[in-house]
A and B are shown apart, each in its own frame.
Chain A
């Protein structure tokens, strides 16, 4: 045995080791148990090293990886910064384009709705001279532009063409010191001559000190100069005071309010328009919209009082009621005929509430002479701008209530001074009538050189035509 072990010692040890491990496996398999102590040792010996390796890896290899990632981030940041700058520039460009598009659209709308024949032009440069206010536009004689033509924007007049070249034209702005044009105030119908001052404000000259001009009042072209058709807005009175000989009236030109004009319209064939009725002067403050019942678009029957009727309305209603009871029609009957008997009136205070104060009992239709209360209210309210020119026919009441009037106005000839300067007929003074809703465009006429006569809108009550002396 000793010989065997000494001769085959290696093999013996091998067998012992193998058998021992086989027994170990057999034990684990049979009992379905591990050898936890051995595993604990192994795991305890290995896992701390693994943890250390993981930490080393995280703070070495991870750092290297993060470094390369940060390198990429740096490049990416650079690229994003460049993209951001490019997008900013693109944004600015698009905003400018959008503004240009808005102006062009407004110009196009105005061009479409204006009765005058126009051609759109773009300002391409300024003239020389520090005090001269002239600009070049990109439309010339090949586009039909001629010297003396008016240049306007939807906001107001801009200037006039002083020289027309084949591909461009030189436009004198209304702020040029040598510029002059005939203007008329909206409210008081004060005529004057617009003069440039070389700066942003313009002066209305040759207005007597006795004339009444309110602050904030609008001036329109009068057509007297034979360049600008009548009815185009010029500007708003910024200051008005009595001068040595004439009144000093300074206007803030509405056509140049944006500072520098970029797109304009050249009036190839100007058509005179009506000056909008005098709105409430000094609209420099915000005013509320008119009540809904007045802007609803349906004119109230004359004489129909509302819930907010005044004593005068009640009194008038009593007169009408008595007249109706006595079968008297107001506005008829020859002078000297027997009037209704009003002796049985109860008076305003003593009268009981009228049965027809409610809208449910409509009285008879309005007569031309009577009951202008509703019409007047409507005229001074938002329904006023509904536009005869057709230019702003769809504007809301809120828009119409804006203080800034539009050049297009309802055809309502109530003032002899509104007659065209060159026309041979002027509308006679006529009682104010209700403005026809949605009245058509003003009369069209020949070129600006000879301002055509104004024809009242077909829907409007036709005033008697009196030859111009």
Chain B
């Protein structure tokens, strides 16, 4: 194990950071609005899964699995409410993402951009894949899963996550 990897794994942040409540509500809402509104005019932006990135960022920042579970669940349920799918599909997926992201954040230095990129990519792929699994398992819909496209979109979302997380970090307060 190299010194760098030891640094990534053994020096988790000790301080706790939290968002103001207003941002906790507004940022996911903006992300959902972006997802439902912007692709009307810029269709190629539909690949962006901003609610997922917000969930990941919150989970990584808060390091609180239970809070992240509920945060992810709330965002997912709102997404489900604005979709044609039964309510709970995105909720389950984002609940899991929030939990796992919060769990991972306690073991990794999530301030590192590389770690952030990898985690964002991974959670995007996990999100898409698990949603596909739930869709097939619970709803019985034979949707196809394009791995290549999902990987590419995962990379793009991870690329977007880096600056987005920087912006969201500005909204946090250290306490």
Contact = CB atoms under 8 A, between A and B. Distances in A.
Given A21-B73, A22-B138, A46 B88 contact: no
Given A46-B33, A50-B36, A25 B66 contact: no
The interface centre, meaning the residue of B32, B36, B86, B89 with most chain A CB atoms within 10 A of its CB, is: B86
Contacts of A24: 86-88, 91
A45 interface: yes
Given A22-B88, A22-B92, A49 B29 contact: yes
Q: Is the contact region of chain A dominated by helix, strand, or loop, or is it mixed?
A: helix
B114 interface: no
Interface residues of B, number: 26
Interface stretch (A34-42, A150-158, A379-387, A459-467): A34-42
Contacts of A49: 29, 33
Contact of A10 (B33, B65, B91): B65
A13 interface: yes
B107 to A, nearest CB: 14
Contacts, number: 80
A9 interface: yes
Contact of A50 (B33, B66, B86, B99): B33
B60 to A, nearest CB: 15
A41 B69 contact: no
A354 interface: no
Interface stretch (B5-13, B14-22, B47-55, B76-84): B76-84
B171 interface: no
Contacts of A21: 73, 77, 88, 91-92, 95
B70 interface: yes
Given A13-B65, A18-B95, A38-B77, 8 more contacts: A9-B66, A14-B95, A14-B96, A22-B138, A25-B87, A25-B88, A39-B81, A53-B37
Contact of B78 (A14, A28, A42): A42
Contacts of B138: 22, 25-26, 29
Nearest to B138: A25
A69 interface: no
B96 A18 contact: yes
Contact of A25 (B73, B81, B86): B86
A43 B96 CA distance: 24
Contact of B69 (A13, A25, A42): A13
B99 A38 contact: no
B139 interface: yes
Contacts of A54: 37
A13 B102 CA distance: 13
A174 B45 CA distance: 88
B66 A13 contact: yes
A14 B97 CA distance: 11
Contact of B81 (A9, A14, A28, A42): A42
A28 B134 CA distance: 14
A-B complex: 7 closest residue pairs judged by Cβ atoms: A42-B81, A28-B86, A21-B88, A10-B65, A25-B88, A24-B88, A39-B81
A38 B87 contact: yes
Nearest to B84: A34
The interface centre, meaning the residue of A14, A41, A46, A50 with most chain B CB atoms within 10 A of its CB, is: A14
